Amino acid sequence: MSRARQGYLALAALLVAGVVLIAVELSNGALDHGESTAADPCADRPPFPGDGFEATLQRIALDGLDGAACELGTTREELVLSFDSQLGDDVEWDEETLEQALRSGLEEAIDDAEERGTLGGLEATILRELVSRAPLDWLLEGGADLADLFGGIFDRR
């Protein structure tokens, strides 16, 4: 067999292998790769993993955002993006509605955490007071500092 013929056979084998590889990837869902779908905020989700007060606060924050998003008829991701005034131009709710939905979602999340036993009565009471009285800006921006402030105290129990 001539070298030219061997070259053509090798090229044909490579082309067939490439077509087979592409076909396998397409059958495994390659067209949907990178496509994201937001979870339904009204549906139950498995709780955020982890132990300690900081993980409990993260669960409360995520559950609270789900509750607020469910109340507003949007996704958690769209709700969070709406907090930025530059990204939230198409927001369908005013600040008062957002504040009520966030407070309601967080209060429900605190109740759920207390029922699960991941949050004690004292911590739940303190968090409920903070959620009911804290300014909306603090809930949106500074609430994460709560883990640093109280985490060490409640983790020592």
Which tens digits make up the pLDDT trace of 40-53? 888 887 777 778 87
- What percent of the chain is modeled with pLDDT above 90? 8
Q: Is the dihedral of CA 149, 153, 156, 157 positive or negative?
A: negative
Task: Please tell me the distance from the alpha carbon of residue 27 to that of residue 30, in angstroms, as a whole number.
Answer: 7
Give the pLDDT band of residue 110 (cuts 50, 70, 90).
very high
Average pLDDT, the chain: 78
Put simply, whether the predicted model's pTM sits higher than 0.85 gets the answer no
Average pLDDT over residues 17-27: 86
Instruction: Check residue 36 and give its pLDDT.
Output: 67
For the chain, the domains span: 3-32, 52-155
Model pLDDT, residue 43:
82
More confident residue, 1 or 15: 15
CA distances from 37 to 33, 47, 144 (A): 11, 19, 26
